[in-house]
Amino acid sequence: MRVLARIDLKGCPRRFLTFIVMLGFAFPAWGQYFLPARGFGQNKVRYRKFDWWALKTKYVEVYYNPEYEDLAKIAAKMADDAVEELQKATRHELSTVVPLILYETHYQFEQTNIVTEILPPGVGGFAESLRYRVVIPFDGNLDNLREVIAHEMTHIFQYDIIYGGPLKSLTKRIKPPPTWLMEGMAEYFGRGLTEYGEKKGGMEITGEMVLRDAVLSGTLIPLKDLDDFSMLSRVYLAYKESQSLVTYIARRFGQYKVVQLLRRWKFLSDSEKLIREVLGISREELERDWRTYLYRKYWPQIEGRKYTYEFAREVTPDDGRKGVGHMSPAWSLGGEMLAVLSAREGELGIELIRLRDGKVLYNVTKGMRAYRYEDLRFGEKVLAWSPDGRWIAFVGKRSDRDRIFVWDVYRMSLDRRLDPEGVEEVTSLNWSPDGRRLVISGIKGGSPGIFILDASSGRTQVLTRGLSDQVFPAWSPDGGTIAFS
């Protein structure tokens, strides 16, 4: 590896830019409910001018801010490993060195000028077909970074196989391949390969859960609808179905058939003809056989499992309806209420819900967006109710970083805002037993860590720092110890 001079990254003319946004493994199963409605009528705001440096290897050129050179070296090694694995698996050599633009946080990633589109919080990276650029934020988890890099590098291989090199997509009129093939391949190869070029990893636990639920509830998305994800509301399920289908094809017909589907697409440009020519069966037969495989895999598991209604009571009956969802619940002191992060038609908010009947008693954040914060942080453990029942703390983005807002339950009003010193993103938080401090997990200077905040002043103490994921801190009952995962 060698470090080159600093580079001023400029985007290509926007009228020529074509790209595909890849959600990667940073897109959570509940993201379909919790991605804020963003894009129309919004302008992309850039809060800083980036000082780009370049690190060139055999296969990639990583662009990064100089203070994060260690992270750039790790990403470069991951990308080189992914390219070597993909060359072995696809029997295709890349035609060019791939630019990889690395951002230290998602909020920096959202400011990119590579594309003009607004990038919502759930987008874990993208690869564009015109100039073969890969753009990725670091979320504090090296395993996620490795998988997202492999996912996006798979897309670069796909573009290279279809178009034959950067800029050639401008002159070749080729219909975009089915999304299930593009994303299914990226998920399949993104899980890692053996030394013989065969896939070694399976589906992650959350994906397995979502796919199993769709099979058992009879809500699988039909294969014909997976040709284009743009009109689907259950995007995460579409990714997992596509991964499952490509895995099924690789195991039944051979992994080389998956690559052959892509190679033949530019000559056929028809999904039904493609499947029949390469696999020797119709699309209907492929879907029937794949679904039968899923039924045989998952239906026997009912014997050792219970449906939720058999052991639990649903508190929020509107969950699961289009555009509605709840997560990150926090108990009130008396246990009769929950504070929850809610999504209704793409708008995030925090609601107080009565446990007895699920009635929404109060919308804590009503009217706060725009003048208090730009977006609420979504995820697990992003709001917390203080042990004495007086305060609710939650996380919201303001300008280019996260802030912590403290709401007064007694006065039913926002009391204060805390600005964790130097922490760009806050991923979870928890009150101390005495209610005087908050412990948070977050990203500071491109490194994840655990931090302690004074609940009144916001004074920040660094507890841990490193390049390994550190999340969900929790206090011991006496307040003397903090555990995290």
pLDDT at residue 323, rounded to an integer: 63
Tokens of 2: 């060698």
Give Cβ neighbours of residue 465 (< 8 Å, ≥ 6 apart). 444, 447, 448, 449
Q: Output Rg (C-alpha) for the chain, integer angstroms.
A: 24
What is the spatial distance between Cα 369 and Cα 378, in angstroms, rounded to a whole number?
14
Strand pairing class (98-103; 60-64):
parallel
What is the spatial distance between Cα 284 and Cα 276, in angstroms, rounded to a whole number?
10
pLDDT at residue 14, rounded to an integer: 28
C-alpha closest to that of 379 among 471, 241, 482: 471
Per-residue pLDDT of the chain (485 residues; tens, 9 = 90+): 333 333 333 333 322 223 333 333 334 443 443 444 454 445 677 777 888 999 999 999 999 999 889 999 999 999 999 999 999 999 999 999 999 999 998 989 999 988 888 888 778 899 999 999 999 999 888 888 999 999 999 999 999 999 998 888 787 788 899 999 999 999 999 876 544 445 555 788 899 999 999 999 999 999 999 999 988 989 999 999 999 999 999 999 999 999 999 999 999 989 999 999 999 999 999 999 999 999 999 999 988 888 888 999 888 866 656 667 888 999 999 999 999 998 887 788 999 999 998 899 999 998 888 778 888 888 889 999 999 999 999 999 988 899 999 999 999 999 999 999 999 999 999 999 999 999 999 999 888 899 999 999 999 999 988 777 788 999 999 999 999 98
Residue 110: how many CA atoms within 13 Å on its side-chain side? 24
- For 318-483, CATH gives 2.130.10.10
Give Cβ neighbours of residue 25 (< 8 Å, ≥ 6 apart). 124, 144, 147, 148, 151, 190, 204
* Range(s) of the chain covered by CATH 2.130.10.10: 318-483
258-287, pLDDT tens digit by residue? 999 999 999 998 999 999 999 999 999 999
pTM here is 0.85
pLDDT at residue 7, rounded to an integer: 36
**What class does CATH assign to 2-302?**
mainly alpha
Cβ-based neighbour number of residue 485 at 10 Å = 10
What is the spatial distance between Cα 449 and Cα 442, in angstroms, rounded to a whole number?
6
Owner of token pair 């399949």: 188
* Range(s) of the chain covered by CATH 1.10.390: 2-302
pLDDT at residue 25, rounded to an integer: 32
pLDDT at residue 187, rounded to an integer: 93
DSSP 156-205: HHHHHHHHSSTTGGGT---PPPPHHHHHHHHHHHHT-B-TTS-B-----H
Tokens of 161: 């196989």
Give Cβ neighbours of residue 356 (< 8 Å, ≥ 6 apart). 336
